[in-house]
Amino acid sequence: MKRERLTRAQRKEQTLENLLEAARIMFVKKGLAATSVEDIAEAAGYTRGAFYSNFDGKPELLLELLRRDHDSAQAKLRAIVGTGGTCEQMKAHAIEYFRRQFSEHDGFPLWVEARLLGCRDAEFQERFNVFRHEKLDQVSAYIRTFSECEGRQPPLQVDALARGLVSLCDGMQLLRMCDPQMVNDEVTQTVLAGFLSRVLQR
């Protein structure tokens, strides 16, 4: 069977996807600073020119990887809230969601790289913070929905609890990345269940 030729737009999209995947693997393995544009282009099977026809530089490519990861995570959390059910079911779904974020989220090192870069690059930090604010807003909305389900007023402002939960998850993921034996699935589930169970108590 004759293979259908790709259109110019399809070839451009394929090049973009291949560059992104090559960069994701290399950033996780070697780090942002140790990975050159040439490394990414070569791993993807293209020239340096192909890279710069799609991205201004490594920071822009990193932001695109983060955007995709961020959009995927938001969609999964929206699905949990949209599922409805009893309060216990909502809590169980949330615990499972965050547990999967720990055990299956191999892109977390990208977020660590982004935080380090943001400390040194104000323009990058401003663009990166958009993801952080959207995530906090979504977690706040989840906590608010959960509080209404429970019929309780949370002990702190919802936004403060969202920052606490996100910070807890970030810290646990960082520990897991450095020492997987210390933060295994059982420890993760215990910590998350304890936090979510107590955070809404008066």
* Domain harbouring 105, CATH code: 1.10.357.10
Into how many domains does the chain fold?
A: 2
- Tracing tokens 């959960």 back to the chain, one arrives at 146
Q: Do 48 and 62 reside in the same domain of the chain?
A: no
Residue 202 pLDDT: 46
| Residue closest to 26 by CA, chosen among 68, 58, 53 | 58
Range of the domain at 108: 58-198
Give the orientation angle of helix 185-198 with respect to helix 158-178, to 10 degrees. Answer: 170
Q: Do 148 and 111 reside in the same domain of the chain?
A: yes
Q: Are 38 and 49 in contact (CB under 8 A)?
A: no
Residue 3 pLDDT: 64
Mean pLDDT, each 10-residue run in order, the chain (202 residues):
74 95 96 96 96 96 97 87 76 78 80 95 96 94 83 84 90 87 82 73 50
Q: How confident is the model over 115-145, as pLDDT tens digits? A: 999 999 999 999 999 999 999 999 998 888 8
Residue 199 pLDDT: 65
| Residues 143, 141: Cα–Cα separation, whole Å | 6
Q: Do 62 and 105 reside in the same domain of the chain?
A: yes
Residue 147 pLDDT: 81
Q: Do 93 and 191 reside in the same domain of the chain?
A: yes
